[in-house]
Amino acid sequence: MKSGSIHAGASLRPRDPVTGEALPERAQPGYYPGFSIMSQKAYWDRATREVVEARLKPASPLRFFSDDEAKLWTAVFDHILPQTDRIPERRIPLIPALDERLQENRTVGYRFEDMPHDRDVYKTIGIQAINAEARALYRRDFLGLAFVEQEGVLRAIHDGDARAGEALWKQMSIHRFWQLLTGDAIEAYYAHPWAWDEIGFGGPAYPRAYMRLERGEPEPWEAEERRYAWEGPVASLSDETNDASHHHTEAEQHGHRPGKRQP
Amino acid sequence: MKEPLFGPFREQGNGKHTLGPMQHIDVPMRRFREDEPVDYLIVGVGSAGGVLVQRLARAGFKVVGLEAGPFWDTERDWVSDEAGSHKLYWEDARITGGSDPLALGANNSGKGVGGGSVHWAAFTPRLHPSDFEVYTRDGVGADWPISYDELLPYYEQLEIEMPVAGPAYFPWGRPHGYAYGPHPMGGVGNALIRGCSKLGIPVCIGGPVAILSGSHGDRPHCIYRGFCIQGCKVGAKASTLITHVPDAIKSGAEIRELSMASRIEMGKDGRAAGIHYFDGEGRPHFQKAKAVIVAGYAIESPRLLLNSSCAGHENGLANSSDTVGRYLMAQAGNVVLGRFDELVRMYKAPPAHALSEEFYETDPKRGFARGFAIQTVAPLPIAFAKQMVAAKKAWGWGLRRELMDYNHWATFGVLGEILPWPENRVTLADEKDQFGIPVAHVSFNLHENDKRLIKFGKEKTFEVMYAAGATEVVQEARYAHLVGACRMGADPGTSVVDKFCRTHDVSNLFVCDGSVMPTQGSANPGLTIQALAARTADYLISQGDAIFTSNRRDMTPPRLRRGLAPPHTWGKGVPRLT
Ligand SMILES: Cc1cc2nc3c(=O)[nH]c(=O)nc-3n(C[C@H](O)[C@H](O)[C@H](O)COP(=O)(O)OP(=O)(O)OC[C@H]3O[C@@H](n4cnc5c(N)ncnc54)[C@H](O)[C@@H]3O)c2cc1C
Ligand code: SF4
């Protein structure tokens, strides 16, 4: 049941909704089997090709995070964008891009006034917050918890449901904290060509162009959709969504406290 | 996997500064000395700055454009990739707050030659005549010191210079037609047509967008690759980098890249004397000038004025009215996302390709002043995933699941008019940037009229999305397009610049960019910003040397100088209906 294990145990893998059996790991999850963005790289301009190819190279050693910090954030990001449906060689590294951003002190170009600097969040305050929530809920630090307990901690933060004392969350908005973490996980995962294969995104098309614009049809080199049914792993709490569309303004939407959860 | 018709692509590699695959700069750029005053020193070569530099150079002035970001070589620097395009945006430090904090960075402003016109979606609707007299009509907001008719010749002119593609008949505001034919529809545009048509709402398709539907000079037409917001490597989408800057350089202007203005220096005569700036290595410089134009965007322009406070201007330059930084506006930009049973593949076609302005004007029955537009938008996967986090609180497997359905979603954007309020403002924070310059603090707060408008606009857009056939509709609340914060007006007590963008306080200091707009309407601001820049340039040219030598304020409107447009502006496109 440990999140760090290379081959995910059955309870951590998505299931067949009919039989309840864990689905096998795939080289390429998603509904576009056979679609390969990288098979098209010869048709892209050189600058784009170099940027995308670099994401497939082995990551350079981490510079910003210590080993312990990296271990914690790897575990957290494994929940925010879990990949146990992928064979280990086809999992997308999420922490190296974040490490590079923080090392180079790059930001999204603004900081909410109720947030510390990104570097302080990832180096200290965020780690303290996650461990404090873990202790408040389950009396142990985050890395010492079972997978499903870790899910519980992160879901509480996702819900804006802080337990660990006001002093901590006074330094940092719980909602903007969650937005920061999900944003960084997304920036790494959905920048990767394997993720594009998974979701059927046609990717770079200069100078070749797209031609079938209107009816959702694939280009000759794209793939047709072939869906399969799946549901989240037994040990996961994240395979559900909660419509926040009734909020009209950005502030309300991100400070949102969900009421009842939908199944 | 099948191969495309003409096989793999091979670069031309001509070793020149490329702007799109065909266009390059092949004349050496002029260099001016720092200790000899240039005529016009312009801060920021963005939407407004690019037009100003071109016009003033062509008229024969000595012009330097200081640009904080790089002078892009598009083949070398730009990529068809979301995560690889961060460098196009202003990502230096800024702080955002208030009751409704605005996301800045990639959501708002550009850095580098071309500024925001590099990464805009290139929707180019005009303002409506009513936008220039909001206060007179509705008792809210402000009136402009100019009318629609005064700006009209410049709208028409810039629509040809960019040029803009769109329908032969555009029914809203003052009806008009466009220079180039409309674009074909993508999946999102088709959804907007279906939804609007079903509800009897008029909809305009294939434009107005500053994207070529046919090739023009050395710029190819659009190839529908959908990366407009990441910069158009094709050169089909207009940016001042490719439409105006090449001609500026040919006409003798200097574009000084990686030059971050930190302070405007005042002379003993009470006139601006030049600008302190930092180069790419962080070394300080001072460029002398006879006149200064600030065109740094609605955040950086007020920031520079506030950072230039000095004896006699203790609250910041040009700020005797305490208006610098105030009346900052953003448009409501709620994104309404609809899931369809059939595939949409919204990454194809430019995000901007259809809209409706049917709800633009005030309708007293709705219970709020002013209105909104509905437009196509089309997020690429990273942006879409973040929208799913906001709209559906998705994470973990829920997020993976939503994204596996990326190709089933279509998205419309509400573009709603938020009114100008004095406490929505840019001030200076204690924090400093990499050069040691105090950074901007942006405070933003919605008021009752704004909230009602957003709610109504969002709900109407939901109706359209359902009518289009979506089986699930959700929404991400957000904002777009910052303008205001150095507004123009006739009264020096309540505005920063006059109707020719000259500051009321300093007679050789101008602010000319989106920050001068007193109200914003529900039209994307880029065309209006470039039109204002061309008009300001005509005014400056009409004044000749008087700007440099006298403090007299001549308020005679200039005449339109078509001859100063970049070459090959005429004789292209289909005839216009006006
Ligand atoms: C994702 C996105 C999509 C958009 N889509 C549209 C659209 O479809 N239609 C539309 O009309 N608008 C759109 N916009 C908005 C549009 O880009 C801006 O409104 C417009 O570019 C603003 O013009 P400006 O001249 O005020 O500033 P900018 O174009 O931002 O130019 C300012 C320039 O000044 C430079 N600068 C700033 N400070 C300094 C300094 N101190 N020293 C030196 N240089 C400095 C900056 O680097 C920049 O290049 C979009 C914006 C975004 C972010
Ligand atoms: S969709 Fe057209 S305008 Fe947009 S980036 Fe691609 S080629 Fe350029």
The pLDDT > 90 percentage for chain A reads 84
Per-residue pLDDT at A260 exceeds 50: no
Pick the residue from chain A with its C-alpha nearest to B2.
A221
Cβ-based neighbours of A129, under 8 Å, separated by 6 or more: A157, A164, A168, A169, A172, A174, A177
Kindly report the number of other CB atoms within 10 A of residue A103's CB atom. 13
Which ligand minimizes its atom distance to the CA of B102? 1
A242 neighbourhood in chain B, CB within 8 Å: 392-393
Would you say the CB of residue B225 lies under 6 angstroms from ligand 2? yes
Pairing mode, strands B38-43 and B284-294: parallel
Distance CA A247, CA B226 (A): 29
What pLDDT, on a 0 to 100 scale, did the predictor assign at position B8? 57
What is the C-alpha radius of gyration for chain A, rounded to an integer number of angstroms? Answer: 20
Would you say the CB of residue B117 lies under 6 angstroms from ligand 1? yes
What pLDDT, on a 0 to 100 scale, did the predictor assign at position B112? 98
Query: Taking the domain B37-569, which CATH number applies?
Result: 3.50.50.60
Distance CA B406, CA B272 (A): 53
Distance CA A129, CA B570 (A): 62
DSSP string of A27-58, one letter each residue: SS-SS-TT--GGGGGGGB-HHHHHHHHHTTSP
Please write the tens of the pLDDT for every residue from A32-75. Answer: 999 999 999 999 999 999 999 999 999 899 999 999 999 999 99
Between the alpha carbon of residue B376 and those of residues A245, A260, B209, B410, the distances in Å are 19, 33, 12, 9
- Count of alpha carbons within 13 Å of A155, Cβ hemisphere only? 20
What pLDDT, on a 0 to 100 scale, did the predictor assign at position A2? 42
Per-residue pLDDT at A152 exceeds 60: yes
For residue B556 the two structure tokens come to: 């005679």
Contact B81 A256 (CB under 8 A): no
**Hey, is B271 helix, strand or coil?**
coil
Would you say the CB of residue B426 lies under 6 angstroms from ligand 1? no
A15 neighbourhood in chain B, CB within 8 Å: none
What pLDDT, on a 0 to 100 scale, did the predictor assign at position B571? 62
Distance CA A246, CA B455 (A): 9
Which ligand minimizes its atom distance to the CA of B80? 2
Q: CA dihedral in degrees (B466, B469, B472, B475; nearest 10)?
A: -50
- For B302-334, letters b (16+ CB in 10 Å) and e give bbbbbbbbeeebeebbbbbbebbbbbbbbbbbb
**Hey, is A4 helix, strand or coil?**
coil
Best residue among B188, B237, B345, B348 to mutate for probing ligand 2's pocket (most ligand atoms within 8 Å of CB) is B237
Going from N- to C-terminal start, the domains of chain B cover 37-569
What pLDDT, on a 0 to 100 scale, did the predictor assign at position A165? 77
> Nearest residue CA, atom 38 of ligand 1?
B296
pLDDT, tens digit only, all 578 positions of chain B: 455 555 555 555 567 899 988 888 888 999 999 999 999 999 999 999 999 999 999 999 999 999 999 999 999 999 999 999 999 999 999 999 999 999 999 888 899 999 999 999 999 999 999 999 999 999 999 999 999 999 999 999 999 999 999 999 999 999 999 978 999 999 999 999 999 999 999 999 999 999 999 988 889 999 999 999 999 999 999 999 999 999 999 999 999 999 999 999 999 999 999 999 999 999 999 999 999 999 999 999 999 999 999 999 999 999 999 999 999 999 999 999 999 999 999 999 999 999 999 999 999 999 999 999 999 999 999 999 999 999 999 999 999 999 999 999 999 999 999 999 999 999 999 999 999 999 999 999 999 999 999 999 999 999 999 999 999 999 999 999 999 999 999 999 999 999 999 999 999 999 999 999 999 999 999 999 999 999 999 999 999 999 999 999 999 999 999 999 998 887 665 555 44
Whether the CB-CB separation of A182 and A98 falls below 8 Å is answered with no
A80 neighbourhood in chain B, CB within 8 Å: 395-396, 399
Would you say the CB of residue B227 lies under 6 angstroms from ligand 2? yes
ipTM, two decimals, is 0.95
Q: Residue B25: left (phi > 0), alpha (psi -120 to 50), or beta?
A: beta
Which residues face B211 on adjacent strands?
B237
Distance CA B298, CA B529 (A): 11
Size of interface A-B (CB pairs under 8 A): 275
Distance CA B505, CA B482 (A): 24
For residue B320 the two structure tokens come to: 């005797």
CB distance from A228 to chain B under 8 Å? no
Helices (H) and strands (E) in chain A, counts: 10, 1
Facing residue for B455 by CB, picked from A212, A215, A248: A248
Contact B97 A114 (CB under 8 A): yes
Shortest CA gap A75–chain B (Å):
12
For residue A235 the two structure tokens come to: 């040990």
What pLDDT, on a 0 to 100 scale, did the predictor assign at position B107? 82
> Nearest residue CA, atom 4 of ligand 2?
B228
Higher pLDDT, B575 or A164: A164
Whether the CB-CB separation of B281 and B291 falls below 8 Å is answered with no
Distance CA B256, CA B41 (A): 10
8-state DSSP, A143: G
User: What's chain A's average pLDDT?
Assistant: 92
Per-residue pLDDT at A256 exceeds 60: no
Q: Which of A122, A119, A155 is nearest to A232 (CA)?
A: A155
Entry pTM: 0.96
Which residues face B441 on adjacent strands?
B95, B427
For residue B483 the two structure tokens come to: 């303008």
Distance CA A176, CA A198 (A): 28
Whether the CB-CB separation of B358 and B204 falls below 8 Å is answered with no
Instruction: Look up tokens 């506006």; give the residue.
Output: B329
Print the SS3 string covering B331-348: EECCEEEEECCCCCCCCC
For residue A42 the two structure tokens come to: 């010869």
A151 neighbourhood in chain B, CB within 8 Å: 396
Which residues face B63 on adjacent strands?
B40
Would you say the CB of residue B526 lies under 6 angstroms from ligand 1? yes
What pLDDT, on a 0 to 100 scale, did the predictor assign at position A6? 60
Q: Which of B161, B118, B180 is nearest to B247 (CA)?
A: B161
